[in-house]
Amino acid sequence: MAQSMQVGVRTNTSGQTQIAPITGNNKGLQRAEIKQGIREIITCKDADGKLGLRLRHVNNGLFVALVQNNYPAALAGLRFGDQVLQINGKDVAGWDTDKAHKFLKEAPADRITFAVRDRPFERTITMQKDSQGYIGFVFKNGKIKSIVKDSSAARNGILTDHQLIEVNGQNVVGMKDDGIGEIIDAGGRTITVTIMPSFLYDHICKCMGNSLMKKLMDHSVPDV
């Protein structure tokens, strides 16, 4: 069983709160950015006819539930939690998971277009580590369980019962807690996490086990 990990931040010796700087030079913040509006993604199937993509219907919308590493969907920039609005010009509102996968299976291999809204159920929070490298919350199995009082996490709005989706823009869905902790430790003083309410995460990931997510999910660091 994965062990919970605690990271916490306190006020500094002068009593001032440590707040994460929001700057254009922060690579993690740039990678994690959730852009407004709709973007078009153009991709194709690989030599085996695969996209490396699984979708899940939630509230009559289609959402990205799995993006496999080094497959066309990942290379084109699709990310966990993205909402798919159209596929090859067809509106997908109201489609269930089976209909979406059947449509993709029958789609031409050489060109598939998606209209996508960036991760509407997710939000990003930027925090600052203290001198001991802590930012202020406890998580287990990727789920935030508690928040350290007066920490950077507490002051910047981290919430319990939320799932860690990305750290500095790198997908951590399906990773073990120690692997997530290593990414946080190596992430520099400023850490940006992307979180999603746990009940929505559980619904999107329904019918996919952690072992499948860990084995197949794209955990690469996005380009900026």
- How far apart are alpha carbons 65 and 73 in whole angstroms? 12
- Least-confidence region, from 76-90, 109-123, 128-142: 128-142
Q: Are the C-beta atoms of residues 105 and 73 closer than 8 Å to each other?
A: no
The model's confidence at residue 30, banded by pLDDT at 50, 70 and 90, is confident
Write down the pLDDT at residue 83. 97
Express each pLDDT in 85-121 by its tens digit.
Answer: 999 999 999 999 999 999 999 999 999 999 999 999 9
pTM for the model: 0.84
Q: Are the C-beta atoms of residues 164 and 180 closer than 8 Å to each other?
A: yes
Among residues 172, 160, 182, 181, the alpha carbon closest in space to that of 210 is found at 172
Q: Is 50 exceeded by the pLDDT of residue 126?
A: yes
Three-class SS of residue 220?
Answer: coil
**The two three-digit tokens of residue 126, written as one number:** 């930027």
Q: What is the mean pLDDT of the chain?
A: 86
Q: Is 80 exceeded by the pLDDT of residue 4?
A: no
Q: Are the C-beta atoms of residues 160 and 136 closer than 8 Å to each other?
A: no
Q: Is 60 exceeded by the pLDDT of residue 10?
A: no
* Cα separation values, 142 from 122, 131, 221, Å: 15, 24, 18
Among residues 161, 149, 158, the alpha carbon closest in space to that of 127 is found at 158
Express each pLDDT in 151-176 by its tens digit.
Answer: 999 999 999 999 999 999 999 999 99
Q: How is 123-188 classified by DSSP, letter by letter?
A: EEEEEE--TTS--SEEEETTEEEEE-TTSHHHHTT--SSEEEEEETTEE-TT--HHHHHHHHHTS-
1 Cβ neighbours under 8 A, 6+ residues apart: none
Write down the pLDDT at residue 211. 64
- How far apart are alpha carbons 134 and 148 in whole angstroms? 10
